[in-house]
Chains A and B, each alone.
Chain A
Amino acid sequence: MSSYGAALAAPPRGSMKDGFSFGMAILGFALLVAIFGPSLVPYDPLTQELAARNAPPDAAHWFGYDHLGRDVLARLVAGTRISLAVALGATLLAMLLGAGLGLAAEALGRWPSFLVFGVFDMVRALPSILLALTLMVALGIGIIPLIIALGVAYAPHMALVARAAWRRESATGYVAAARVMGAAPLATLWRHVLPNIAGALVTQAAIIMPRAITTESVLSFFGLGVSPETPSWGRMISGASRFAESAPHAVLAPVLALCVVTLGFAFVGDRLRLALDPLREHGR
């Protein structure tokens, strides 16, 4: 983990540091909006004023109304919380399932690894979006099913990264020493290896999170994400896209938010990947 801090402290290029800072600023702002935003916007994201449907932005309603006469800003702010929560939940689940199962299987030996990664390979044969879509059909709509579907869909990605990191670390002296000292495989994994591969997992998480946000949007766009009235960005885009000609403000706001937050994650994830790449650290 020491390499992580050092690499961030001394980035190779100024533009990359700028990118990391910019990404963190975006994510920090999004986080603040998710936490405090709903209490700052004076409108309820669900309340409908049918007479004002698709009304353009004005002084009172900065982002205007959507096709059901709901305040777009209020929904955008509420959607930030939902989209980030779904992304965070799905990524944690992917980490738990993918990295947890993958590492445990690797630690336990050849056959457990063969079985677990055989299953992951089968799952990985399907595109993540298709797998998530299938799971949503089976689980039904809602935030929890959405988190489960996305978590399962991205778990193999996390597992592969974890396996690569494990194999790299298991060839090092400290792992051999732990084995010689009689440490059990899972104990070695938990006490010695995990702290040293956490950086790689965090990097992968930073890559998965924006994917989870966009996949949530796609699933919600298809009517399979959260329930229709829930103000997720995907649902907002889905509902307002039919009126893009007459009320572009209602669809532009969530689209831009999605782009900006995805960009933020991309900047941070890319910087973390570079900072934690051991090959790059040694100048090879």
Chain B
Amino acid sequence: MTQIPLPLLRRHLLLGGAALFAPASALGQVAPRTGTLKVAFLGLDTADPHRHTGSIAVQQVYVEGLTSIADDGTVKPFLATSWEISPDGRRYEFKIREDVRFHNGRLLTAEDVRANAVRVRDQVRGGWLSAPMRLVDSLEAPDARTFVMTMKEPYGPLLNLLSELWIVAPESEGWAQTIRQPIGTGPFRFGRWQPNVSFHAPAFTQYWQPGLPRAEAVEFSLRDDSDLSLALRAGDLHIGRIGYDKLASVRADPNLEVQFMKDTTWWFWSFNNRNPRPPFNDIRVRQAVSFMLDKPAFMRFVAGEAGTATNQMAAPGQFYWDKAVHDADVHAAPNETRAHALLREAGVNPANTPCRIVSWQSAYTEIAVQAMRKLGFQVEHLALDDIGAQRRLGQYDWDLAPFSSGPRADIFLRFVRLMSDGPNVGLWGGTRDAEFDRLVRAAIAAVDLNERRRLYLAAWQRAMDNYYTVVIGHAPEPIANRREVTGYSPGFTWGQHRVDGGLAFGALTARG
């Protein structure tokens, strides 16, 4: 079940729900649920799944979408069993899975799906789904099992993005404003939530996948702990994210094992593209600064052996990554001599030039700061927390911003942030480039996958040529689990429930 290129579609029918879930059916005979999985990933910022501000690790255990991002990054049916896409790429007809029950026992219908799509379209501002929802022409539920979404123009990433349009029963408390007690269809129910402390989700006994979930409950720690390795080693947690600097000590513990997420986090530094201050509006200066980057050393620092240096937003080996572009990277190795020569050519004396760097409070940002110091600039480093950094980035009174960004359900979610009207544009310097926007829009409208790839690469080449954002490299996030946990594996994104894995498949052996 992989996504079929759109040009091949002549009202092409994607089937496969039955085949896909055959293994799940076989699970009907497995042992009864045991134990509570104690896990820690990211936070839960709101009980309303439609209004989340970026964190998707927690809510996916109690709500599900029509589609799901599988381990290999492809989109698979989930609450939809299949879909048809019209030849012009505008009309999507979904068949809704039968026998799916909400946590209150009511059967899911196409009208529920439509109500959720309408709610997101009409009530939610910002976020990943805002861009496709602006392009929705109509939302219909002609019968109980059919949901039809018609777009004003072709929209390639739609199926992937629908994996995060979570379906909630409209009778959920707070539906008209902010949902406080979501009634979803996921393997676990929305239980006790103490913001920034914990979230307890008991198993849903009428879950539609037989045999799942395998645990009696899952309990998320929502505390903002920077190091979970000790809690994992002590047995206070069963599964949790760990830092790359803890890989060696965690691997040395016979009670723990390390797995990696399937998509990567990527590191980059962005220039202020919206309101660049001289001399950082000069391409030669941006080039000089970029020649100070020691990408291999940087990636070894942040991720050790798991890191890979490259110059693209897609990780090496992925469909949208291009080897020729990678091989042509002029910043693959640092060149301080060239950097100084470029500054001289631009008539810049760095000793007299202030350079304001905005970043999070992460150690890797100090490498960027030191690189700028080494080049001779008068560096002012503002290391801020997440909200502080976003606010400061939005002021566009800075010059350089080293950051990182995590896995995403679709490559578009990386490109969209460089677009003029994308979400969180500050992180990428607030680029306003009509030609870049045009190329990305053409890419998402392209019905041929290879053409889409070509357009994305053209857009990225433009970003590189103008030094909007300089990619340093990629690394998959390490996740550790205690050995008494069986069946769990991290997925492509941070979502902890998906069609082919996640917490619903996790169980504790007697040892746990």
Given B294, B300, B382, which contacts A141 in the complex, CB threshold below 8 Å?
B382
- Chain A residue contacts of B249, Cβ below 8 A: 245-246
Given the contacts A223-B361, A228-B361, A229-B366, A243 and B245 also touching, CB distance less than 8 Å: yes
Show 11 A/B contacts (Cβ-Cβ < 8 Å), sorted by A: A47-B370, A48-B366, A50-B298, A50-B367, A51-B297, A68-B367, A140-B382, A227-B381, A228-B361, A242-B226, A245-B249
Interface residues of A in 114-157 (CB under 8 A from B): 140-141
Nearest chain A residue, comparing its CB with the CB of B374: A47
Whole-angstrom CA separation of A223 from B226 in the bound complex: 13
- Chain B residue contacts of A246, Cβ below 8 A: 248-249
Given A50, A67, A223, A228, which contacts B297 in the complex, CB threshold below 8 Å?
A50
- Chain A residue contacts of B363, Cβ below 8 A: 67-68, 228, 239
- Chain B residue contacts of A53, Cβ below 8 A: 301
Residue-wise interface mask of A (47-59) relative to B, using a CB-CB cutoff of 8 A (1 in contact, 0 not): 1101101000000
Nearest chain A residue, comparing its CB with the CB of B380: A227
Among A46, A141, A228, A245, the one with the most B-chain Cβ atoms within 10 Å of its Cβ is A228
Nearest chain B residue, comparing its CB with the CB of A48: B370
Minimum Cβ distance to chain A for residue B392 (Å)? 10
- Chain B residue contacts of A47, Cβ below 8 A: 370
- Chain A residue contacts of B367, Cβ below 8 A: 48, 50, 68
**Residues of B with Cβ closer than 8 Å to A?**
226-227, 243, 245, 248-249, 294, 297-298, 300-301, 361, 363, 365-367, 369-370, 373, 381-383, 385
- Asked if B245 and A242 sit within 8 Å, CB to CB, the answer is yes
Given A50, A228, A245, which contacts B381 in the complex, CB threshold below 8 Å?
A228
- Chain B residue contacts of A46, Cβ below 8 A: 370, 373
Nearest chain A residue, comparing its CB with the CB of B227: A242
Given B226, B227, B365, which contacts A228 in the complex, CB threshold below 8 Å?
B365
Whole-angstrom CA separation of A239 from B363 in the bound complex: 8
Whole-angstrom CA separation of A95 from B301 in the bound complex: 45
**Residues of A with Cβ closer than 8 Å to B?**
46-48, 50-51, 53, 67-68, 140-141, 223, 227-229, 239, 242-243, 245-246
Minimum Cβ distance to chain B for residue A229 (Å)? 5
Q: Which label, helix, strand, loop or mixed, suits the secondary structure of the B interface?
A: helix
Nearest chain A residue, comparing its CB with the CB of B301: A50
Minimum Cβ distance to chain B for residue A136 (Å)? 12
- Chain B residue contacts of A68, Cβ below 8 A: 301, 363, 366-367, 370
Among B297, B300, B366, the one with the most A-chain Cβ atoms within 10 Å of its Cβ is B366
- Chain A residue contacts of B298, Cβ below 8 A: 50
Whole-angstrom CA separation of A67 from B363 in the bound complex: 9
Whole-angstrom CA separation of A163 from B366 in the bound complex: 46
Nearest chain A residue, comparing its CB with the CB of B383: A228
Whole-angstrom CA separation of A82 from B243 in the bound complex: 30
- Chain B residue contacts of A48, Cβ below 8 A: 366-367, 370
- Chain B residue contacts of A228, Cβ below 8 A: 361, 363, 365-366, 369, 381, 383
- Asked if A229 and B294 sit within 8 Å, CB to CB, the answer is no
- Asked if B383 and A227 sit within 8 Å, CB to CB, the answer is yes
- Asked if A223 and B381 sit within 8 Å, CB to CB, the answer is no
Whole-angstrom CA separation of A242 from B364 in the bound complex: 14
Whole-angstrom CA separation of A46 from B368 in the bound complex: 12
Minimum Cβ distance to chain B for residue A114 (Å)? 38
Minimum Cβ distance to chain A for residue B99 (Å)? 49
- Asked if B381 and A229 sit within 8 Å, CB to CB, the answer is yes
Whole-angstrom CA separation of A246 from B251 in the bound complex: 14
Whole-angstrom CA separation of A228 from B363 in the bound complex: 8
Minimum Cβ distance to chain B for residue A221 (Å)? 11
Minimum Cβ distance to chain B for residue A248 (Å)? 13
Minimum Cβ distance to chain A for residue B293 (Å)? 12
- Chain A residue contacts of B385, Cβ below 8 A: 223
Nearest chain B residue, comparing its CB with the CB of A223: B361
Minimum Cβ distance to chain B for residue A138 (Å)? 11
Whole-angstrom CA separation of A127 from B294 in the bound complex: 44
Minimum Cβ distance to chain B for residue A239 (Å)? 7
Whole-angstrom CA separation of A140 from B363 in the bound complex: 19
A-B pairs, top 8 by smallest CB distance, nearest first, are: A223-B361, A50-B297, A227-B381, A228-B383, A229-B366, A48-B370, A50-B301, A229-B369
Whole-angstrom CA separation of A47 from B369 in the bound complex: 11
Given contacts A50-B297, A51-B297, A223-B385, 11 further A-B contacts (CB under 8 A): A46-B370, A50-B294, A50-B298, A50-B367, A67-B245, A68-B370, A227-B381, A228-B369, A229-B369, A239-B363, A242-B226
- Chain A residue contacts of B227, Cβ below 8 A: 242
Nearest chain A residue, comparing its CB with the CB of B381: A227
Minimum Cβ distance to chain A for residue B359 (Å)? 8
Whole-angstrom CA separation of A267 from B170 in the bound complex: 68
- Chain B residue contacts of A243, Cβ below 8 A: 245
